[in-house]
Amino acid sequence: GAVVSQHPSRVICKSGTSVKIECRSLDFQATTMFWYRQFPKQSLMLMATSNEGSKATYEQGVEKDKFLINHASLTLSTLTVTSAHPEDSSFYICSARDLAGSSGYNEQFFGPGTRLTVL
Amino acid sequence: GQNIDQPTEMTATEGAIVQINCTYQTSGFNGLFWYQQHAGEAPTFLSYNVLDGLEEKGRFSSFLSRSKGYSYLLLKELQMKDSASYLCAVLDSNYQLIWGAGTKLIIKP
Q: What is the mean pLDDT of residues B72-101?
A: 93
Averaged pLDDT for residues A95-106: 67
In angstroms, rounded to a whole number, what is the distance separating the alpha carbons of residues A13 and B21? Answer: 40
Whether residues B102 and A49 touch (CB distance < 8 A) is answered with no
- Taking only the tens place, the pLDDT of each residue in B53-68 is 999 999 999 999 999 9
Contact flag B97-A34 (C-beta cutoff 8 Å): yes
Give the model's pLDDT for residue A31.
80
From chain B, the residues in CB contact with A58 under 8 A are none
Interchain contact A43–B (C-beta under 8 A)? yes
Q: How far apart are CA A98 and CA B67, in angstroms?
A: 29
Q: What are phi and psi of B19, to 5 degrees?
A: -120, 125
